[in-house]
């Protein structure tokens, strides 16, 4: 019986002579771990080396240049799934480590004629791998290590050869484990999603495929279920555990008007959620996308560390030759060849970045790759949008102005709320909330409510038509004259307030003014950013100049630009960047997208428009302004840790290299010191 194929999907995405990169997807139930995949592909004819990134589902195959790419891809696609799907993937590395340890401990007990073949057999995987690397890339750190082992074997110094082989196997095993753990930290941010979702269709609960849920659907979520969409609660009450997405340890009570995130767990209760973000646009799906980018993207610090490691290889090779000539002892050359910088330099930096991104993700901050974290640490100028960023974006009724003596200000609010309570919109919800705060919370009986998109609502009370909405709606569509109150309207607009016009029986009976408030944490966040290295903090807004200046004074900002169009914001960002400022722009609206894209690093608020979240380098999962300061502090801490590891790597390895070149260290001592310090630096990089 022919075994089922291993891969459900396999497609070439890039090819150059001698190298082929494929995107793959394993069939359900087949092994997907990197070691098992790598070992299987390496056994194919013509394959020299394989690199697997399971998180990105990327398979890079280095092969003999005479091999045909299409034939090789077909051979990989035809690989049968292994019968066993246990943890065999970890066996090769562990087996090599055990073999090298057994050779080290038992080699001296063997008769002299057997010591060379046994030591050579233990070192053979290392030598074979180095030969393949040499053919593809020339002299690298791995080639230097193999040369050190070869010198010891040639000199019949089996203790040195076996010790070096074991320490290299141990170092590689631990390095891969640490690197794998840093990837797992990020992958733990992925949230499980159900394949089916309950939605309300014509008042009936229907179980539908998750992929068919659309924006505007009413999704029903019961106790014990994972919320499948980002949205706002239409009805019901529940306790939601948000720790998976925001890091909050205390469960949150949710009711009508509250926002909920996909990937969070319903502990008890029942909610009907208005779906605002579905499928790939949900927070959980964005995490998955960011994780894939984070695992593959490289920062400038990473690239510089790798470049330095590569530049040092010829230096180490020359130093080994000079040491052998000057000391007349090939043992010193073997010692020098082992003291390379490559592993710690190339691995410690990405491990530290991934660990920092995992910590940020747990705190509700999604960082799109190491480069974004690096650029945030460099930022010295923070520019904020106003509405929904430094302010709550949640409107409150501030003024109720009546033009009909039959209605008090509270009556006017309740009149509007009676029809607005059926309308799911921030303005409507603010009016309903204000009505609940009135002394009587009066309700006016009305007929069926009519929704006029982008205008307002209309109904009939006591036989008279009532309309609530924009001036354009009541004046042009409903023919209600508002000109007598232009002075009042102008004053309210000048104060930066949003207006709702209420027409009843063909006349304007009043106006409700609404305004959002400064976030309670805005001032503290500004202060924390200054302590974290921000030299200038500015406000850019399309709001009225007086209102913007008032906020700038309240929060002690360095400068303010008001009454701006989107292109004005982008132009100011471009000008400041041209003057040398490293800008972090914080915004949430469609009009912020050009500025977010043009900044050194863009940060999008949780309630931001889709295009703002897409354009930004960093996206907040919680509607909390203090997360901006958290992100800056996390970026600073990550770069400080990377700088420390860099100094440790260069300092310790330079000392080891110098001692080896002066013939002060044996190959055994060099292997122990070099690999021990490398592992210690990698463990330090994994700290959170």
Question: Which among 26, 358, 311, 260 is positioned nearest to 141, based on CA atoms?
Answer: 311
Distance CA 59, CA 22 (A): 5
Distance CA 230, CA 345 (A): 41
Residue 44: CB atoms within 10 Å: 16
**β-bridge pairing 19-26 and 559-561:** unpaired
Distance CA 245, CA 364 (A): 6
Instruction: Judge contact between 225 and 261, C-beta under 8 A.
Output: no
Q: What is the dihedral of CA 291, 296, 298, 303, to 10 degrees?
A: 150
Distance CA 189, CA 180 (A): 15
β partners of residue 254: 238
What is the chain's alpha carbon radius of gyration, rounded to the nearest angstrom?
33
Inter-axis angle of helices 330-338 and 300-327, nearest 10: 170
Distance CA 13, CA 407 (A): 69
Query: What b/e sequence results for 339-371 when a residue is b if at least 16 CB atoms lie within 10 Å of its CB, and e otherwise?
Result: bbbbbbbbbbbbbbbbbbbbbbbbbbbbbbbbb
For the record, the structure tokens of 569 come out as 């914001």
Query: What b/e sequence results for 176-201 when a residue is b if at least 16 CB atoms lie within 10 Å of its CB, and e otherwise?
Result: eebbeebbebbbebbbebeeebbbee
With a CB cutoff of 8 Å and minimum separation 6, the contacts of 527 are none
36, 353, 393, 671 from 184: Cα distances, Å: 17, 13, 36, 29
For the record, the structure tokens of 143 come out as 């080639």
**β-bridge pairing 618-620 and 365-367:** antiparallel
For the record, the structure tokens of 174 come out as 């631990």
| Strand, coil or helix: 138 | coil
With a CB cutoff of 8 Å and minimum separation 6, the contacts of 228 are 193, 194, 197, 210, 213, 219, 221, 262, 282
CA 556 to chain centre: 31
Distance CA 403, CA 486 (A): 13
Residues in the chain: 688
With a CB cutoff of 8 Å and minimum separation 6, the contacts of 327 are 663
**β-bridge pairing 381-384 and 583-587:** parallel
DSSP letter assigned to residue 14 = E
Inter-axis angle of helices 342-362 and 370-378, nearest 10: 80
Q: What share of the chain is helix, strand, coil (3-state, %, to 5)?
A: 50, 20, 25
385 is catalytic: yes
DSSP letter assigned to residue 389 = I
Catalytic residue among 183, 217, 385, 592: 385
Handedness of CA 197, 201, 205, 206 (dihedral sign): negative
DSSP letter assigned to residue 590 = G
CA atoms within 13 A on the CB side of 132: 17
Residue 293: CB atoms within 10 Å: 16
- Catalytic positions, written as ranges: 385
């Amino acid at each position: 019986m022919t075994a089922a194929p291993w891969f459900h999907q396999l497609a070439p995405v890039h090819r150059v002579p001698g190298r082929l990169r494929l995107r793959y997807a394993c069939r359900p139930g087949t092994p997907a771990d990197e070691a098992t995949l790598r070992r299987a592909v390496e056994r194919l004819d013509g394959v020299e080396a394989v690199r697997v990134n399971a998180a990105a589902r990327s398979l890079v195959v280095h092969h003999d240049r005479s091999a045909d790419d299409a034939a090789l891809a077909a051979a990989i696609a035809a690989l049968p799934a292994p019968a066993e799907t246990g943890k065999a993937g970890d066996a090769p590395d562990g087996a090599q480590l055990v073999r090298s340890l057994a050779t080290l401990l038992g080699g001296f007990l063997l008769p002299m004629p057997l010591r060379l073949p046994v030591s050579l057999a233990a070192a053979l995987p290392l030598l074979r791998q180095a030969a393949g690397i040499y053919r593809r890339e020339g002299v690298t750190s791995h080639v230097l290590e193999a040369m050190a082992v070869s010198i010891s074997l040639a000199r019949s110094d089996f203790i040195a050869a076996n010790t070096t082989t074991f320490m290299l196997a141990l170092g590689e095993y631990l390095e891969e484990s640490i690197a794998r753990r840093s990837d797992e930290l990020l992958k733990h941010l992925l949230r499980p999603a159900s394949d089916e979702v309950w939605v309300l269709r014509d008042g009936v609960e229907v179980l539908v495929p998750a992929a068919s849920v659309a924006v505007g659907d009413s999704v029903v979520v019961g106790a014990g279920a994972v919320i499948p969409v980002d949205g706002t609660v239409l009805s019901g009450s529940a306790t939601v555990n948000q720790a998976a997405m925001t890091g909050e340890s205390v469960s949150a009570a949710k009711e009508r008007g509250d926002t909920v995130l996909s990937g969070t767990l319903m502990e008890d209760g029942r909610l009907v959620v208005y779906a605002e973000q579905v499928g790939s646009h949900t927070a959980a799906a964005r995490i998955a996308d960011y994780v894939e980018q984070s695992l593959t993207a490289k920062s400038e610090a990473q690239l510089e560390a790798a470049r330095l490691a590569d530049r040092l290889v010829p230096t180490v090779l020359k130093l080994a030759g000079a040491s052998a000539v000057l000391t007349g002892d090939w043992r010193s050359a073997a010692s020098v060849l082992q003291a390379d910088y490559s592993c710690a330099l190339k691995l410690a930096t990405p491990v530290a970045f991934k660990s920092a991104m995992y910590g940020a993700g747990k705190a509700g901050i999604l960082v799109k790759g190491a480069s974004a974290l690096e650029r945030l640490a460099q930022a010295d100028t923070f520019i904020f949008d106003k509405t929904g960023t430094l302010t709550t974006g949640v409107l409150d009724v501030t003024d109720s102005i009546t033009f009909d003596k039959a209605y008090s200000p509270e009556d006017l609010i309740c009149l509007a709320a009676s029809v607005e309570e059926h309308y799911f919109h921030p303005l409507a919800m603010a009016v309903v909330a204000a009505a609940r705060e009135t002394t009587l919370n009066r309700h006016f009986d009305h007929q069926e409510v009519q929704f006029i998109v982008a205008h307002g609502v209309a109904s009939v009370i006591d036989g008279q038509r009532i309309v609530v909405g924009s001036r354009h709606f009541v004046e042009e569509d409903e023919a209600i004259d508002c000109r007598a109150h232009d002075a009042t309207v102008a004053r309210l607009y000048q104060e930066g307030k949003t207006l709702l016009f209420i027409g009843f029986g063909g006349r304007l009976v009043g106006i409700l003014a609404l305004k959002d408030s400064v976030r309670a944490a805005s001032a503290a966040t500004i202060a924390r950013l200054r302590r974290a290295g921000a030299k200038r903090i500015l406000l850019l807004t399309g709001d009225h100049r007086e209102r913007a200046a008032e906020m700038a004074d309240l929060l002690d900002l360095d400068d303010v630009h008001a009454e701006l169009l989107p292109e004005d914001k982008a132009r100011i960002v471009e000008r400041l960047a041209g003057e040398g400022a490293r800008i972090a722009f914080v915004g949430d609206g469609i009009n912020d997208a050009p500025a977010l894209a043009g900044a050194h690093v863009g940060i999008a608020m949780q309630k931001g428009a889709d295009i703002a979240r897409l354009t930004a380098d960093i996206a907040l999962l919680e509607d909390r302004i203090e997360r901006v300061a958290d992100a800056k502090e996390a970026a600073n801490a990550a770069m400080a840790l990377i700088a420390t590891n860099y100094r440790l790597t260069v300092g310790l390895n330079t000392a080891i290299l110098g001692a080896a070149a002066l013939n002060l260290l044996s190959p055994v001592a060099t292997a122990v010191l070099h690999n021990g310090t490398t592992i210690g630096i990698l463990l330090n990089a994994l700290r959170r």
